[in-house]
Structure 1
Amino acid sequence: MYKKIVIAGGTGFIGKYLSKQFRKLGYQVFIISRQDKNIQWENEKEILGALENSDMLINLSGKSVDCRYNKKNKEEILKSRTETTKTLGKAILKCKNPPELWINSSTATIYRHATDRAMTESTGEIGSGFSVDVATNWEQSFFDFRLPNTRQVALRMAIVLGKYGGVMKPFTNLVRFGLGGKQGNGNQMFSWIHIEDLFRIILFLLERKDLEGVFNCSSPNPVDNKTLMKSFRESMGVKVGLPSPTWLLKIGAIVIKTETELILKSRWVIPEKLIQVGYSFKYPTIDIALANILK
Structure 2
Amino acid sequence: MAEVDGADAVINLAGRSVGCRYTEDNLRDMMNSRVDSARVIGQAIAEAERPPAVWLQMSTATIYAHRFDAANDERTGIIGGTEPDVPDYWAFSVDIARTWEAEQEHADTPYTRRVALRTAMVMSPGRGGVYRVLRGLARLGLGGTVAGGRQYVSWIHDQDLIRAVLFLLDHPELSGPVNLAAPNPLPHAEFMRVLRRACGRPFGLPATRWMAELGAFALRADTELLLKSRRVVPTRLLEAGFRFAFPDWAVAAAELESRARGGSQGSSKVESPNSCQR
What do residues 222-274 of structure 1 show as CA deviations (whole Å, max 9, x unaligned)? 01111111111111111211111111011222232221111000000011111
SS in 1 for 2:116: strand
Distance between the aligned counterparts of 2:197 and 2:233, measured in 1? 25
Shift of 1:218: 0.3
What is aligned with 1:144? 106
Question: What number of residue pairs does the alignment pair up?
Answer: 248
Letter aligned with residue 93 of structure 2: S
User: Which residues of 2 match residues 276-295 of structure 1 at below 5 A?
Assistant: 276-295=239-258
More displaced stretch, 248-257 vs 106-115: 248-257
Does 2:15 match 1:62? yes
What is aligned with 2:141? 178
Letter aligned with residue 59 of structure 1: N
Shift of 1:114: 1.1
Letter aligned with residue 69 of structure 2: D
Sequence identity (%) = 40
Distance between the aligned counterparts of 1:170 and 1:256, measured in 2? 9
Distance between the aligned counterparts of 1:252 and 1:290, measured in 2? 23
Does 2:146 match 1:193? no
What is aligned with 1:92? 45
SS in 2 for 1:280: coil
What do residues 188-232 of structure 1 show as CA deviations (whole Å, max 9, x unaligned)? 000001111111111111111221111011000001111111111
Distance between the aligned counterparts of 2:189 and 2:22, measured in 1? 27
What do residues 160-207 of structure 1 show as CA deviations (whole Å, max 9, x unaligned)? 011214101111111111111111111100000111111111111111
What is aligned with 1:163? 125
The CA RMSD measured in Å over matched residues stands at 1.1
2:220 pairs, out of 252, 257, 275, with 257
Shift of 1:52: 2.0
Structure 2: gaps spanning 5 or more residues: 82-90, 259-278
Letter aligned with residue 184 of structure 1: A
Indicate the structure whose relative CO is greater, using CA pairs within 8 Å and at least 6 residues apart: 2
What is aligned with 1:6? none
Distance between the aligned counterparts of 1:233 and 1:258, measured in 2? 21
Distance between the aligned counterparts of 1:288 and 1:201, measured in 2? 18
Shift of 1:118: 0.4
Distance between the aligned counterparts of 2:178 and 2:227, measured in 1? 24
1:75 pairs, out of 25, 28, 31, with 28
